[in-house]
Amino acid sequence: MLSKKEGKGKNKEGELAAQGGAAMEKIERSDLLLVIDVQNDFCPGGALPVPDGGAVVPVINRVIGLFPAAGATQDWHPAGHFSFASSHPGKKPFETIPWHGQEQVLWPDHCLQGSAGADLHPELEARPLRFLLRKGTRRDVDSYSGFLENDHRTSTGLKGLLQELGVRRIFVAGLATDYCVRATVLDGLEAGFRVAVLVDACRGVDVPAGSVKKALEEMRSRGALLLETRDLSAG
């Protein structure tokens, strides 16, 4: 159960958005709200809780009905996934290993296929969702982005799905700002979509320290619009 305090305090995401001084943004018919990984394991009490992660739920619920369409992503890992620290003897969660020229963070086991931890948060308003895209399903490759797996070659099919729905702009919310939100936003821009980040509807891991601020600045510099939900205007 969410406490009444969740979603009201200051956070790194909201502070940077406020600095941007965004004007009101009108929601258009070709817009879609994309909810990233708002799952039990990423919320308080889960296997890999994002600090204040549950606070995004009431924020998303307040605005999801404003959009003509909405969809969500869902981490969906097999047991023994290579990104789990438990799959690497002697390694601990949050340590890193090299992987195909990249640095892979090792995580606690989380979002196991079919587990309660992989379920969407029970208080998330899921009825408006047009689709639920599962990612990270292959044992040997992680998938932060909703568009591409971490090899940056294998498509999840999200681009084609959005094109079929006639989506031109996506508004991104969810978890975590500095990992799956960031990767989805950058890949969405690369795929040719206009992208806005609802920063007060996101929370980050901030590991390493400062990564949330860095991610927000990177998304903005690459062309994403940083907004708060109060900046939205119904079409």
> What is the rounded CA–CA span in Å between residue 103 and residue 125?
35
Nearest to 78 by CA among 157, 155, 134, 36: 134
What are the DSSP calls for 22-84, one per residue?
Answer: PPPEE--TTEEEEEE--BGGGSTTSSSPPTTGGGHHHHHHHHGGGSS-EEEEEE-BPTT-TTB
Q: DSSP states of 152-174 as a string?
A: SS-B-SHHHHHHHTT--EEEEEE
43, 109, 142, 180: which one is catalytic?
180
Which amino acid is present at 17?
A
CA distance 196 to 218: 13
Residue 180 annotated to the active site:
yes
43 included as an active-site residue:
no
* Residue 111 among the catalytic residues: no
Which residue matches tokens 């890193």? 96
In angstroms, the CA 133 to CA 118 distance is 13
> Which candidate in 135, 187, 200, 202 is catalytic?
135
Report the C-alpha gap between 10 and 228 in whole angstroms.
12
3-state secondary structure of 108: coil
Enumerate residues 6+ apart whose C-beta is below 8 A from 15: none
Which is catalytic among the residues 37, 75, 109, 187? 37
CB atoms inside a 10 Å sphere around CB 43: 27
Enzyme catalytic residues: 37, 135, 180
